[in-house]
């Protein structure tokens, strides 16, 4: 398979000290094939590969990962970034009801999605209502009613027997009804065609103009692969949309459509559907999608583990030094950077057993202060970091000027460092930490 091939090419890189240009090019070629096989559109692949190459060339050689893993990590990170990074939440109106309109080709999964979204929103404490504006297909209204019943939400539909109604009129009256019955969100289901056609687009545009939705969600079947770009472009230029929902991810599609649609339209993917049941639905997770497109879930797990192991090794080495009273400011900085990588420091320390009373104090330990500490240590020479005792008055002044702080800040840091080092070595003696000399030592 593709993922095997990619893995084997990347394995060839293993053992090399750094990423050479030839390595990067060879890897890029395989990744290109990988993306094309995942049905990512060609222009999108080109842009993406260029971006990855650029970054790989500038990349520092990682100590934790071998070159193969490093390239995959970069590819994965760039994929996640393109897929939207953090999941965007629904835009809701300040004055309810919020209106969410669904648009997309016939069979994309709009009506099913209406039910899924309604159920999900209900779970979040909202009181959604569905409006049936697909009057094209004979069974469309009934289908929405069935879905609404399953989701436990009311459906506004034209009265039967009046011939084919006007969807724009139904949409408008639906919103009125939602206001009257105090529903805070209205989901407008619309008609689609098998292909993009002018009449369908016209109708969607008219409905959008009539109801002024807070979100227009473009619903797209992940299985349509390369067609996703054309369809998305047609909807972007026609009715326009503010977000994307991918459906049928339970199929065997590699999810390349996600990357294409996101990159070509610039609109975020908000939700993902992965089955016919109302529960088969979730907010969109860019990291999961990236791993699906790459088809290298195992490799990504390995990379994560390798990095964690490396961090742990470094932490242990520093603990050894702490215990022996040989901690340097360099170690201190490294530890701090490791901690910061793991997230807001207060959260992390707050998770330690017995850290209960410490929590309030920790909450005051603000990130700005950490930035300052970091800047000060960075302003020191290696010799100063190694042996802070040599930091005399003139050095302190130079460091303060160089890192944009006051001399008293530098004094503060150096004094606290000595205190901490003393305390750690005492504690290590008492608790028998590795590297400690022990009470008698
Ligand atoms: P619409 O024409 O856009 O309203 O699409 P429908 O909601 O009627 O869905 C078309 C078909 O796709 C129906 O048979 C649905 O059951 C099915 N469907 C919708 N979403 C999904 C999904 O996420 N996975 C699978 N396997 N089927 C889906
Ligand atoms: Mg439908």
DSSP string, 194-257: SS--HHHHHHHHHHHHHH--SEEEEEEEGGGTTHHHHHHHHHHHTT--SEEEEE-TTSS--SHH
Closest residue by CA, ligand 1 atom 6: 109
- Tell me the pLDDT tens digit for each residue of 386-434: 888 899 999 999 999 998 999 999 998 888 888 877 776 776 665 554 5
Domain borders along the chain are 2-82, 98-292, 322-431
pLDDT at position 364 over 80:
no
Q: What is d(CA 125, CA 116) in angstroms, rounded to the nearest whole number?
A: 15
Q: What is d(CA 247, CA 227) in angstroms, rounded to the nearest whole number?
A: 14
**What does DSSP assign to residue 390?**
G
Share of the chain above pLDDT 90, in %: 41
Q: What is d(CA 304, CA 351) in angstroms, rounded to the nearest whole number?
A: 21
Ligand found nearest the CA of 107: 1
- Tell me the pLDDT tens digit for each residue of 193-248: 888 889 999 999 999 999 999 999 999 999 988 888 999 999 999 999 999 999 99
Pocket test for ligand 1, best of 105, 112, 133 (most atoms within 8 A of CB): 112
Q: What is d(CA 117, CA 187) in angstroms, rounded to the nearest whole number?
A: 8
Tell how far the Cα of 169 is from the centroid of ligand 2, in angstroms.
18
Closest residue by CA, ligand 1 atom 28: 276
Of residues 223 and 25, more confidence is placed in: 223
Q: What is the CATH number assigned to the segment(s) 322-431?
A: 1.10.260.30
Q: If you search the block for the tokens 């436990």, which residue do you land on?
A: 152
- From the CB of 265, is ligand 1 less than 6 Å away? no
Mean predicted confidence (pLDDT) in 279-298: 86
User: What is the per-residue pLDDT for 249?
Assistant: 92
- From the CB of 115, is ligand 1 less than 6 Å away? no
pLDDT category of residue 293 using cuts at 50, 70 and 90: confident
Q: Of all atoms in ligand 1, which is nearest to the CA of residue 251?
A: 26
* The two three-digit tokens of residue 172, written as one number: 């408008």
pLDDT category of residue 4 using cuts at 50, 70 and 90: low
- Nearest Cα to Cα of residue 111 among 136, 79, 141: 141
User: What is the per-residue pLDDT for 9?
Assistant: 58
pLDDT category of residue 2 using cuts at 50, 70 and 90: very low
Q: What is d(CA 60, CA 82) in angstroms, rounded to the nearest whole number?
A: 22
Q: What is d(CA 18, CA 66) in angstroms, rounded to the nearest whole number?
A: 9
Tell how far the Cα of 227 is from the centroid of ligand 1, in angstroms.
18
Ligand found nearest the CA of 252: 1
pLDDT at position 346 over 70:
no
C-alpha count within 13 angstroms, C-beta hemisphere, residue 309: 9
Tell how far the Cα of 164 is from the centroid of ligand 2, in angstroms.
16
Around Cβ 383, how many Cβ atoms within 10 Å?
A: 11
Residue 250 annotated in ligand binding = yes
Q: Which residues pair with 221 in a beta bridge?
A: 247
Of 58-67, 209-218, 261-270, 361-370, the range with the highest mean pLDDT is: 209-218
Q: What is d(CA 127, CA 81) in angstroms, rounded to the nearest whole number?
A: 33
User: What is the per-residue pLDDT for 358?
Assistant: 45
- From the CB of 106, is ligand 1 less than 6 Å away? yes
Contact 221, 248 (CB under 8 A): yes
pLDDT category of residue 439 using cuts at 50, 70 and 90: very low
Residue 281's SS3 state is: strand
- Tell me the pLDDT tens digit for each residue of 53-62: 888 887 776 7
Contact 119, 278 (CB under 8 A): yes
User: What is the per-residue pLDDT for 93?
Assistant: 93
Pocket test for ligand 1, best of 102, 106, 109 (most atoms within 8 A of CB): 109
Residue 298 annotated in ligand binding = no
User: What is the per-residue pLDDT for 69?
Assistant: 74
Closest residue by CA, ligand 1 atom 10: 107
Question: Which helix (H) or strand (E) covers residue 261, if one does?
Answer: helix 256-265
User: What is the per-residue pLDDT for 8?
Assistant: 61
Q: Of all atoms in ligand 1, which is nearest to the CA of residue 143?
A: 8
Tell how far the Cα of 140 is from the centroid of ligand 1, in angstroms.
12
Angle between helices 329-341 and 297-323 (to 10 degrees): 150
- Nearest Cα to Cα of residue 378 among 338, 423, 410, 425: 410
pLDDT category of residue 340 using cuts at 50, 70 and 90: low
Mean predicted confidence (pLDDT) in 134-146: 91
Closest residue by CA, ligand 1 atom 27: 276
Q: Which fold has domain 2-82?
A: 1.20.120
Contact 141, 111 (CB under 8 A): no
Q: Can you say whether the dihedral through the CA atoms of 171, 177, 178, 180 is positive or negative? A: positive
Closest residue by CA, ligand 1 atom 19: 109
- Tell me the pLDDT tens digit for each residue of 97-113: 999 999 999 999 999 99
pLDDT at position 178 over 90:
yes
User: What is the per-residue pLDDT for 440?
Assistant: 40
- From the CB of 273, is ligand 1 less than 6 Å away? yes
**What does DSSP assign to residue 277?**
S
Tell how far the Cα of 211 is from the centroid of ligand 1, in angstroms.
25
- From the CB of 158, is ligand 1 less than 6 Å away? no
Tell how far the Cα of 105 is from the centroid of ligand 2, in angstroms.
9
Residue 155's SS3 state is: strand
pLDDT at position 131 over 80:
yes
- Nearest Cα to Cα of residue 117 among 95, 96, 92, 139: 92
User: What is the per-residue pLDDT for 356?
Assistant: 45
Residue 247 annotated in ligand binding = yes
Mean predicted confidence (pLDDT) in 176-195: 94
Q: Of all atoms in ligand 1, which is nearest to the CA of residue 102?
A: 3
- From the CB of 276, is ligand 1 less than 6 Å away? yes
- From the CB of 279, is ligand 1 less than 6 Å away? no
User: What is the per-residue pLDDT for 431?
Assistant: 54
Mean predicted confidence (pLDDT) in 306-313: 76
Does the interface ipTM go beyond 0.90?
yes
User: What is the per-residue pLDDT for 330?
Assistant: 80
Tell how far the Cα of 422 is from the centroid of ligand 2, in angstroms.
70
Ligand found nearest the CA of 271: 1
pLDDT at position 322 over 80:
no
User: What is the per-residue pLDDT for 428?
Assistant: 61
pLDDT category of residue 275 using cuts at 50, 70 and 90: very high
Contact 278, 115 (CB under 8 A): yes
Contact 35, 5 (CB under 8 A): no
User: What is the per-residue pLDDT for 148?
Assistant: 97
Angstrom distances, CA of residue 268 to CA of 224, 271, 275, 299, 341: 19, 9, 21, 27, 26
Report the relative pairing of strands 98-103 and 215-221 from DSSP bridges: parallel
User: What is the per-residue pLDDT for 367?
Assistant: 67
pLDDT category of residue 154 using cuts at 50, 70 and 90: very high
Angstrom distances, CA of residue 391 to CA of 151, 371, 395, 396: 69, 21, 6, 6
Q: For all residues of the chain together, what is the average pLDDT?
A: 82
- Which superfamily, per CATH, for 98-292? P-loop containing nucleotide triphosphate hydrolases (3.40.50.300)
User: What is the per-residue pLDDT for 246?
Assistant: 94
């Amino acid at each position: 398979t593709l993922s095997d091939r990619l893995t084997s090419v990347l394995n060839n890189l293993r053992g090399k000290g750094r990423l050479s240009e030839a390595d990067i090019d060879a890897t890029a070629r395989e990744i290109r094939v990988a993306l094309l096989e995942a049905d990512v559109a060609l222009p999108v692949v080109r842009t993406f590969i260029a971006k990855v190459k650029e970054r790989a060339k500038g990349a520092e050689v990682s100590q934790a990962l071998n070159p193969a893993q490093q390239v995959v990590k970069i590819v994965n990170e760039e994929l996640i970034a393109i897929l939207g990074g953090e999941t965007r939440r629904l835009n809701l109106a300040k004055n309810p009801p919020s209106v969410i309109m669904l648009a997309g080709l016939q069979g994309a999964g709009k009506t099913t999605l209406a039910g899924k979204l309604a159920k999900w929103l209900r779970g979040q404490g909202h009181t959604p209502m569905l409006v049936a504006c697909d009057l094209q297909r004979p069974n469309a209204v009934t289908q929405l009613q069935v879905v609404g019943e399953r989701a436990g939400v009311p459906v506004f539909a034209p009265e039967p027997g009046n011939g084919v109604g006007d969807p724009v009129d139904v949409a408008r009256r639906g919103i009125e009804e939602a206001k009257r019955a105090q529903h805070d969100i209205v989901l407008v289901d619309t008609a689609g065609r098998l292909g993009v056609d002018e009449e369908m687009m016209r109708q969607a545009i008219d409905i959008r103009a009539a109801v002024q939705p807070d979100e227009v969600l473009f619903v797209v079947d992940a299985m349509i692969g390369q067609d996703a770009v054309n369809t998305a472009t047609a909807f972007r230029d026609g009715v326009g949309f503010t977000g994307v929902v991918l459906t049928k991810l339970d199929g065997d599609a590699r999810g390349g459509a996600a990357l294409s649609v996101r990159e070509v339209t610039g609109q975020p993917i908000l939700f993902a559907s992965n089955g016919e049941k109302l529960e088969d639905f979730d907010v969109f997770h860019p990291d999961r999608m990236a791993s699906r497109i790459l088809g290298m879930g195992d490799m990504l797990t390995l990379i994560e583990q390798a990095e964690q192991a490396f961090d742990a090794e470094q932490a242990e080495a520093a603990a050894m030094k702490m215990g022996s009273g040989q901690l340097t400011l360099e170690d201190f900085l490294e530890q701090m950077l490791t901690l910061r990588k793991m997230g807001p420091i207060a959260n992390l320390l707050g998770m330690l057993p017995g850290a209960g009373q410490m929590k309030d104090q920790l909450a005051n330990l603000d990130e700005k202060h950490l930035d300052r500490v970091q800047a000060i240590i960075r302003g020191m020479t290696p010799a100063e970091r190694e042996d802070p005792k040599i930091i005399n008055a003139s050095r302190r002044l130079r460091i303060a000027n160089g890192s944009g702080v006051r001399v008293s800040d530098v004094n503060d840091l150096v004094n606290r460092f000595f205190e901490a080092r003393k305390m750690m070595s005492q504690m290590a003696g008492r608790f028998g930490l590795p590297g400690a000399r022990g009470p008698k030592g």
